[in-house]
Structure 1
Amino acid sequence: MMKKKFTTIKIKTLLFALFLFFGKFYSQTNNGAVGINTSSPNLNSVLDVVSGSNNKGILIPRITELQRNAIVINKPADDGLTIYNTTEDCFNYWSLADNEWKSVCGQLGKAVFTVDCSVSKAMGSYVKGKELTNSNYLTISVNVTKVGNYTISGTTSNGYNFYGTGVFLNTGVQKVQVLGQGTPQAIQTDNVTLEANGTEVTCTPAISISVLSPAGTYTMSCGSATVNGVYKVGTALSASNTITLPVNVSAIGSYTITTNTVDGISFSGSGTFTATGNQNITLSGTGTPASTSVKTITMTSDSQGGVSTTCSVNVIVVIPKKTVLHLGLETAYGYSAYTGPSRSLMDSPSNFGTTASSIVKYEGFNHISLGNSPSSAAVQTALNNKPDIVIIGYNYTPDATEAGYIANYLNKKGVVIALTDNTVAAQNLFLGIFSDPTISTSYGAGAGSVYALANTDDPILNGPFGDVRGKNWGEDASTTVNVSGLTSGFIPYSYAQPINNTTTRTGISGLRNNSLNFVWFGDGGFLSNENANGSQFNSNTIEPFVAPGSGGYFPVQKSAYGYAGNGFSAGSMQVQNSILFANMIAWAIQKSEFNGINTQ
């Protein structure tokens, strides 16, 4: 036993001596450099590793990012400490200067993110033999938990693929466009195989793409296209936002219809016609409206055979709420539109609302009323608060000071609808607004007078609630006021002469100024109807306003109105006061949104 122990000690001593000898030899002859698989290591290195058969590499410690972060750093001594980060799939080193771990893949390193397959999809149309363009891409929804570089690819076995790379600068949910390239070779449905930063992403179900046959021949019926759904600023389009487009197919095949992008939104549709003749196709919308402007969308088809391949359709975006200041007597008759059927007409979502069937796409009103006799100070304060629209009704009578406040409001692009049958009130308004001493007002015909409307193409005479050009409006229980001495800049809606009266009268009884947002009719009871349900009041000479609650307070004509005269029998005329008023409100909403006092 002792002999064996002695021999072991001798061997260890010999090996140690040899190590010291060769270490001293290499240190002396190679200036301290150590070589592995080389007898002449690089003189500028302390370690030179050579792959003897040129088929091997070097491994440094491989640890996760959590394990890396658990290292207790000795800052001066560990400057340059290097590891391979398996979480990031990249080399990292400790930087004393920046006091942090750095990635050699870039300062940010590789991003960490997950893919939400449920809202990721392929965009564009895919046709056999047609090379992919910039409209062919994958939109991939990701949730980034660590910023950095990313590479996303999608592959198919049908001659085309997708590839995208970039940098995520923020964490959170984001969407990435991964462009396609190549040419589909066969008519089939392809499942896309996704990879994200080199790791396969399993989507169930997979993102699928239908490759279509070559295009057929068809024409679009542009004038019959229907825009579906509600469009709202800041709200992304959903499955309900579509365009129904009638087409006439003369040769079967695939179809692809795309649109331009207008203010953040666009539409597209593709498929295969299996029969000729008239049929409807659906274009699906995408994007988020950025403004309330009307968007003219141009549709472009891939139809063959030299037929027309473009047409347009307008998309209406919901206008946000507006504040209305009411000045007038608050009674059930609805003189100021703060009460009565005229208020119900304004607040009806089928008239002004956000539903797909709303006549005017609009979020509704904030109503404020100062009543019939506010102080001048109250009027000034209210107008300085910049209401979007002001409606004046019976029997608010502004003095010269208040008329000046209203004029100042109009000059700042405020909107005023004035329905007044007091000569002093009308005189003050017109003189305050237009500063023309030649303007005068006078009383005209009385209750039950019927006035012919001009046959002029105008947004109030011919608006979303009806075309009343060449028709009539009716005076309520009082006496019509007429204005004379007007110069240019006015669109007359009606004159002083009633159709059912032979007494000669001059002046204008209804108008719109074409530079200011100002509409006026010379009757304070223009909106009068004491029936809360808005149904027609049984009288030929009073309450000409009709908007039945049973129809959603939709405005209709009063079918029997007017006193007898000038060849007309009592109640034989029809008047359109409620339709005119609804068109006024639609006009006022547009003006206040796009050219109003609060327009930015």
Structure 2
Amino acid sequence: MMNTKSTKFLVRTLLLALFFSFGNFFSQNNGAVGINTASPNPNSVLDVVSVNNNKGILIPRLTVTQRDAITINPANDDGLTVYNTTEDCLNYWSLADNEWKSVCGQIGKSVFTIDCANTKASGTYIQGKTLNTSHYLTVTVNVTKKGSYTITGTTTNGYNFYATGVFLNTGIQTVQVAGQGTPSAVQSDTVQLFANGVSVSCTPAVTVNVLSSAAIYSVSCGSATVNGVYTKGTALGAGNTITLPVTVTALGSYSITTNTVDGISFSGSGIFTATGNQNITLSGTGKPTSTADKVMTITSNSADGESTCNVTVIMTIPSKKILHIGLETVYGYSAFTGPSRSLMDSPTNFGTSAASVVKSGGYTHTSLGGAPSNATLLAALNTKPDIVIIGYAYTPDATASGYIANYLNNKGVVIAFEDDAASSQNMMRAIFSDPTISAANGAGAGSVYALVNTNDPILNGPFGDVRGKNWGEDASTTVNITGLTSGFIPYSYAQPINSTTPRTGISGLRHSSLNFIWFGDGGFLSNENANGNQYPSNTIEPFVAPSSGGYLPVQKSTYGYAGNGYALGGMQVQNSIIFANALAWAIKQAETNGINTQ
């Protein structure tokens, strides 16, 4: 039988030897244990002293996975402490919150990955020039655990990048990592990224080009050319560039950048090897997030002082739904048929190619014919077409005019060509909410009306400047509107330039707040030639858009009856150019302030 007293003595001797192995000595006083101290703190259970002040204490070191594998006994484990090697911080179990807490902060260190493909350097890096707030990395990260973060980017060329903060949410986020230091050599530098101290391997690598001392040069934004087609949601490619004229007075490096607008930006850099006038190319990057035209601010690094100027990038407008109301004949009264329709559908005029006059996805067309019932009209307007085009011989009554006015008040777009006095009066009274407005027939076929000299998008648009020029009446009589007092922009008055018979009123206008254009001639777009060539008459069919030019609108060179000092056909009219400008305005209004933007 084992000697119990001997066994207890051996155990006590072994424990004493172990305690002494911790340091110089072990002591116990009133329930407090001391290591390397004879007087342990009476308020502590354990008081450990580093004799030479050069040692610490180690507690269990666990990863997050290992920590979370502990089976917690809530009644006994409140305050249980470990060192979390994943977070690089002490953690303790909180009974009150029923979770592990970090002494580095309640949410501890974050977990995230860096998207190298969406990481890029901003700013111009010049040898010997200290970095400032324009020099930074834009880093895209995917956060899988909220918490604190540190992102660094290092180079071997005298400058680095650093950012720290807290991710309060998980998911894709963007961090701006500030640059600091001074580039010492002209070279291409690889930036080594670190996420919370862990090296990140990027393929391809994130690089920064350090340029030589800046040249002295000036830029000419007014003569810049924006190349390529720009469509919402489509990434910019090699053809999306800006050709920028510059004048160089002293050789050296150049770096020209733009701001980022709705997801896109442009930049270019290099070395000038000759002085004088020359062009440089700024390459585009990114993906447009809206259809709004984008004003890009160009900034250069010329050594004579940073300079800026602006260039506008024109966006492609998506396809629009057109509702046509008018006779479906070769004349093209409502642009559903004839050369006016060909003008609309021509990619030369409205298309997605770099050569298109207006960058547009085109149109889808629906026609109600020349005499739709009011019920048919209302049903069609309730489908919310982007634009309504009205031509001969539609004659809306008061009810139909009310439907059209309501469509306009809901931000619809209407281009109306009318030569019936009663229906024109109905339309004007409904749209302007004024029962005193009157309409009357005026001069007849071949009348020529002067356009006002007002800077307006219809009179001075992408297809030409027709301010101070003319439009021509077709085969019927022009409608003149009187009683309008405000809320409109006049385009032409009732008096033809080739007539001495006095006329009063307005023969063409645009509403100043609604999307409404009107001319008092239902045959404004008339031309029976399928090829759009000039019809051989001086008093009818004033619309011209030759197929040989891609149905590009041009003036009719000989028009008008003789009178008031003008010879027969001695005038020029601009009907097709006015219509094309009106369409360009209409699709932009429909996109930015139309019935389908609400």
Tell me if both proteins adopt one fold, taking TM over 0.5 as the criterion.
yes
TM interval, shorter chain, is 0.7 to 0.9
Structure 2 counterpart of 1:467 = 465
Structure 2 residue runs without a partner (length 5+)? 20-24
TM-fit CA distance, 1:178: 0.7
Letter in 2 for 1:55: N
Structure 1 counterpart of 2:370 = 372
TM-fit CA distance, 1:145: 2.6
Letter in 1 for 2:334: S
Structure 1 counterpart of 2:9 = 14
TM-fit CA distance, 1:404: 3.4
Structure 1 counterpart of 2:543 = 545
8 Å contact kept, 1:144–1:172:
yes
TM-fit CA distance, 1:165: 0.9
SS in 2 for 1:583: helix
Q: Deviations over 1:110-147 (max 9, x none)?
A: 22222232332211111122221111011223232322
Map of 1:411-560 to 2, 5 A cutoff? 411=409, 414-434=412-432, 435=434, 437=436, 439-446=438-445, 448-484=446-482, 486-487=484-485, 490-496=488-494, 498=496, 507-530=505-528, 534=532, 542-548=540-546, 551-559=549-557
TM-fit CA distance, 1:211: 1.8
Structure 2 counterpart of 1:128 = 127
Deviates more, 1:527-536 or 1:275-284: 527-536
Q: Does 1:107 align with 2:136?
A: no
8 Å contact kept, 2:293–2:315:
yes
Letter in 1 for 2:525: L
Q: Does 1:587 align with 2:581?
A: no
8 Å contact kept, 1:445–1:498:
no
Letter in 2 for 1:577: N
Residues 186 and 490 of structure 1: is their aligned pair in 2 closer, same or farther, counting only changes over 3 Å? Answer: same
Structure 2 counterpart of 1:86 = 85
SS in 2 for 1:330: coil
* C-alpha separation in 1, matches of 2:341 and 2:165: 55
SS in 2 for 1:271: strand
TM-fit CA distance, 1:201: 1.8
Structure 2 counterpart of 1:216 = 215
Residues 71 and 488 of structure 1: is their aligned pair in 2 closer, same or farther, counting only changes over 3 Å? Answer: closer
Q: Deviations over 1:497-521 (max 9, x none)?
A: 5566676655543333445443222
Q: Deviations over 1:262-291 (max 9, x none)?
A: 667654444332221222223455677666
8 Å contact kept, 2:442–2:503:
no
Structure 1 counterpart of 2:198 = 199
TM-fit CA distance, 1:398: 1.1
TM-fit CA distance, 1:236: 6.9
8 Å contact kept, 2:27–2:40:
no
* C-alpha separation in 2, matches of 1:237 and 1:78: 58
8 Å contact kept, 1:152–1:165:
yes
8 Å contact kept, 1:110–1:149:
yes
TM-fit CA distance, 1:394: 1.2
Letter in 1 for 2:83: Y
Structure 1 counterpart of 2:22 = none
Q: Deviations over 1:91-116 (max 9, x none)?
A: 32222222222222322222222223
Structure 2 counterpart of 1:282 = 281
* C-alpha separation in 1, matches of 2:481 and 2:16: 121
* C-alpha separation in 2, matches of 1:302 and 1:391: 50
Seq. identity, %: 70
* Number of aligned residues: 593
Structure 2 counterpart of 1:250 = 249
Deviates more, 1:84-93 or 1:483-492: 483-492
Structure 2 counterpart of 1:142 = 141
Residues 92 and 349 of structure 1: is their aligned pair in 2 closer, same or farther, counting only changes over 3 Å? Answer: farther
* C-alpha separation in 1, matches of 2:241 and 2:488: 41
TM-fit CA distance, 1:47: 2.6
TM-fit CA distance, 1:539: 5.5
1:313 to 311, 314, 322: 311
8 Å contact kept, 2:26–2:37:
no
8 Å contact kept, 1:442–1:483:
no
Letter in 1 for 2:11: F
Q: Deviations over 1:224-262 (max 9, x none)?
A: 112234445677766655432110101012223344566
TM-fit CA distance, 1:581: 0.6
* C-alpha separation in 1, matches of 2:94 and 2:42: 26
Q: TM-score, normalised by structure 1?
A: 0.85
8 Å contact kept, 1:444–1:482:
no
* C-alpha separation in 1, matches of 2:80 and 2:9: 35
Residues 368 and 147 of structure 1: is their aligned pair in 2 closer, same or farther, counting only changes over 3 Å? Answer: farther
SS in 2 for 1:580: helix
Let me know the Cα RMSD of the aligned residues.
3.8
SS in 2 for 1:192: strand
* C-alpha separation in 2, matches of 1:349 and 1:76: 77
Residues 205 and 59 of structure 1: is their aligned pair in 2 closer, same or farther, counting only changes over 3 Å? Answer: same
Letter in 2 for 1:145: T
SS in 2 for 1:579: helix
Letter in 1 for 2:79: G
Structure 1 residue runs without a partner (length 5+)? none
Letter in 1 for 2:422: V
Q: TM-score, normalised by structure 2?
A: 0.85
Residues 500 and 115 of structure 1: is their aligned pair in 2 closer, same or farther, counting only changes over 3 Å? Answer: same
8 Å contact kept, 1:321–1:364:
yes
Letter in 2 for 1:159: G
